[in-house]
Structure formats: C-alpha cells, structure tokens
Structure 1
C-alpha cells in the first residue's frame, strides 16, 4: 500500500513563507501589538509553566500494558509534588529563532526520538498532533488522514503553519512503518518519534492577532519527498503546474537546511517554487531530468550514469543552476 498524504495530518514542511514586517499593520489584517513586548510576556509565562509542570515520564520509562504513549502534562502539586519539572528534564532543550529581528526562545521536549529517518524542510509529513494553550485549552487536533495533497495557487499561501511547529517536526524521526489491516486501516509500529514544543506567539499565531504561547504535541509517523515547483502567473491570477523533478527538500543549494533562502537567479522566487532556477529560458526539468533522454519522470538520466546532474560547459556549475551552459533548445 502506498501512503497518500493530505489535510492537517499531512503537511509540507516548506510551509512557512517569510512574513515581512511591513505586513504587520496593513488594512487587510489586525493592528498588531509590539512583537518584542509580546515575546517577553510569553517567555515569562512559558518559564513559569515549565517550572510548575511535569509530563508522564515515568510511564514512558516503564510502560504498562495498554499504555497509549501519549504525552500528558500536569501540575506539580499534591500527590505529584515530587515530580521533576519540565525545565529540569534532560529531554528538554531550547533554541532561539529570530522573527523580524526579535529573538524568540522555544523549547522542544523530545520524549522518543524514533528509529527511522527524519524529514527535511520541504518534505511532506504524516503526523498526529495537538495544539493547546498553557492553560490546557485544546485549540486544534488531528488524527491521521490519507488522500492527495492540495497546493495553493499562491506561493504566499502555501501550507501556512507555524515556525515553532516546524522545528519540532524537524527534530523527530519516523518509526519502522506500519501494518495494513484487513479493513484498510493502518496500525503504526510503536517506534515513531514523539515530542512536544512550547513556543511564544511569534512562532505560533501572532500574525493573526493571537498573542498566546502555544504547546504542540506530535507523533511523527511518516514523510515523503514532494516537488512544489510551478510557474505562477500573477497577471492571469493562476498557475501552470510545472514540477522540475527535484524534491523541494533537495533544493537547499547553500546547504543551510532551509530551501526558502535559495534563489539562484535572484528573481525573488526561491528555487523550490521556481520552474527555471537559473532563468536561462530552459525549464529546470529539462536540465535536471536531462536531454536527450528526458521523460519528465524526475529521475536523472544523463549519459554517464553517475546520478549527478550534467555540467555541459565544465565550469563546475550544474546545468540546471547555470544560465550559461551548452544545452541546446531542442525541448
């Protein structure tokens, strides 16, 4: 059975397009509070939560029969007065992510790493997740669904979800797979990654006028490489599908782990959304899935069989990134 990906359970990790600071107070959106002020308030609230709450680490360390492997948070008080607070757990780590030049500290709780590979930014993932506020209010949750993915026609609206959630997913590995049941449902092998993160509003829903910090829980079940390139015609108000054969997560030309900042031809469209990465008039698919054997199947079929894209003029730059190469126009 081939897994298909969809909905809120299946998301592209290349989701979050960079938001510009001049969008903060536009006529079409809310007038936002000062981000630095909100971030400072959130950090105080998150620190207080992490010092006064624990998770069911004892159940994870010594699972009983029937344990559901779900993270549960509770207050350190009464019968739980001797529990170790989240802030002191070795599984918790913090990282700083800047938004509009404002540093945001987020916390990742990696309860179980997972036994398989982990996704890269730009891959599509299958997860179970829950989003809540520190007061325990559950804002959103999803079980796993499978179907075909849907892409927005506007690059600025592709898979918009939060930066904090993305960093949690990138920290977890998948498991060893699943068993398909007779009724078509799946039972996942119990070795997938499990984690949670605690994020300030700037890494959650600040842009929508929600200034609360958030807690995300995730079961990392599977991931898949996808190719999000297409030609977008703003004048016509639509797009023409044109995948270039390179998975979005592999278009990280500068190797920093983030394909969003790779724009080889400087046209303002990152390579993962650009059907002609070097703007030489030859679509990337014809320079990567190489002529003359090109069959648009996304598999490098250049002549020498080494699995490396061609460099026709020998200048050390692959043809699909080189605007000055020797490929003809027989496309």
Structure 2
C-alpha cells in the first residue's frame, strides 16, 4: 500500500495543549523543541537501534536459490544472538541543519545531524547528486517496523516533491545500476540486475521534525528507508534554465531551498521560488538560459560575467 508520504505537500498543524486559563481563550500552541536538543537524542536512539538489530546480510553475501533480494531487519536475540549488528556496516554522514530549513523561527544555524547509510548491495553504475531525479523502489518505516510508505515498482523521484531532506541525501550515497541491465518481465514489470540497494536511517531534523504528516508518523519521528536505486538522471535541471540543480546550491550547504537570489524582489505573500525552480534567477526579466547562452543557444562556460565583478550575469541583476 502506498501512502505518498514522500510527496506530502500539506503538513499537519503543530500539536496543541488545552489550557484552562480563561485569559488564553483557547488552546495554546506548544513551541517546537530545539534542533540542538533533539539531534543528539535522535543519534543515541539510532545508534542503539543499529547495535541491537541486523539485516539479512548473509542472503546478500551468498544468495540462496530463489532469493527475492528483499532486505529484512530483525532484533539480535535468541537464535539470532550471533548476528552482526547493523552498526558494523553503517556509515555515519554529518549534515548541517538550520531551523529556517524547516520553516521554524528558532534562529538555530548549522546544527549537526548524522544520517546513517548501509550499503546492502553495491550498484555497478555511478552515484547521483542529491537533487538528481532517481528511479527507485523504496519502503519507508519507523524504527519499530511500522511501514508508512512504499512502492514495490520502480518509480521516478523528483527532488521538488521530496519532503524528507535526508531521503535525497541518503540516496546520494548509493551507486545506481546501468540501463543496459534492464530486464523486462512477462508481466510487464522490469528489473535492473545491477542496481544498488541500501538502508538509510534519518534523524527527525532531516525528516519532518515537529510535524506529523500522517497518523502513522508522530512529531520527532526517526525514519528508515530501504532503497533499491535503479537509475538516475545526471545533472537534473528542474527549471530547465541550463544550470544543473546541484550547481544552484550557491552556499554549498546541501539544501536548495535557501538559495534564492531575487528573494527580496518576489511579491509579498508569494510562494518563494529558489533558484533551482526559477528560470530567471536574478529576476531581471532576462531568462537564465539566455544569459548563459550564445546566439546559437549553446551554453557558455564559464558562465558570462560582463562586468567582471565575480558574479555571473545570470545572478547579477545589474547586468
């Protein structure tokens, strides 16, 4: 069953608590916890999970006859007491998260969050950049095993529709398959024989944090994804302006939502258009593509900088 959490566009209201004080006149919103408080708590919970659980690595090391390539996670206990904990193969990757990235006003900047990635099967292709469109099968769950979203058939993921930042960051650690290894099955489905497979565990600050997008995901939930990465579109250009979306990360913080060159000129109340979604990045009325192309439509690199001030024309409204 597919719940579509990855493309969830409207988040639930913040939790409220009832206050009987007549002066308040109604429920009082509970302020979000601080990223700096939640991040280390999440990391401790994730590490405990990784140390007490294992996945069926032996099946992937030596596939039994008829193996379906499914990732299965279980507790290290009883007859499984001797299994290798997931922590042994987990790779921690640190990212900086600011409260503004989550639409919060706490003013916290660059709070370290650690995502954990386990390579279950290495793909034979290359790795995507985090904004690249990817062809995947996936299953999303909580650490208690509750599944909240999955797609058992390959589907294209578009960065613009991914609400969980850590999901894209985790897939960027994987290697994909190659198009020459696509096999079409009799039922019309297909498989990619040299695809990559992995497990991603995401702290709440790189997921929904204090939001609750469904009844299955409570605020401050840690999310886990089992991923099969088939293919990806290299240098995905979401606004077709000639600049690959990964190059629109001007401050290099791994988050595209805060790179908006003409933010101050956007109409009051309008939905912000960060550069990777804006075909006219500097808002000067000349499209980005025109400002980086010659008369024949060929893109010029390095990108033109007419006044030599170090800012390319497509980001410089003065040109």
- Moved segments of 4+, more than 6 Å: 23-27
2:175 maps to 1:173: yes
- Cross-structure match for 2:285: 281
CA distance in 1, matches of 2:140, 2:124: 24
- RMSD between aligned alpha carbons? 3.7
Query: What is the rounded CA distance, in whole Å, between the counterparts of 1:141 and 1:66 in structure 2?
Result: 23
Match 1:108 to one of 103, 117, 120: 117
Could you tell me how far 1:128 is from its partner in structure 2?
A: 0.7
Residues 32, 173 of structure 1: CA spacing in aligned structure 2 closer, same or farther, 3 A cutoff? Answer: farther
Are the aligned partners of 2:133 and 2:158 in contact in 1 as well (CA < 8 Å)? no
Secondary structure of 2:161's partner? Answer: coil
What is residue 228 of structure 1 aligned with on the other side? 238
Distance 1:40 1:315 in 2: 42
Alignment partners' CA distance in 1, 2:127 and 2:280:
29
SS in 2 for 1:117: coil
Partner of 1:272: 276
Specify which of 68, 93, 96 is matched with residue 94 of structure 2: 96
For 1:117, the equivalent position in structure 2 comes to: 126
Give the Cα–Cα distance (whole angstroms) in 2 for the partners of residues 160 and 181 of structure 1.
Answer: 28
**Gap regions ≥5 residues in structure 2:** 17-25, 100-107, 213-217, 265-271
The match for 2:144 among 135, 138, 146 is 135
SS at match of 1:172: coil
| Shift of residue 93, structure 1, vs aligned partner | 1.4
**63 and 252 in structure 1: CA distance in 2 versus 1, 3 angstrom threshold:** same
Aligned to 1:163: 165
Number of corresponding residues: 278
CA distance in 2: counterparts of 1:141 and 1:278, whole angstroms: 39
Q: What TM-score do you get using the length of structure 2 for normalisation?
A: 0.71
What secondary structure, in the 3-state scheme, does the structure 1 residue paired with 2:317 have?
coil
List per-residue Cα deviations over 1:135-155 (Å, max 9, x = no partner): 2111111123558x899xxxx
Quickly say closer, same or farther: Cα 1:208–1:129, change in 2 above 3 A: same
TM-score (norm 1): 0.69
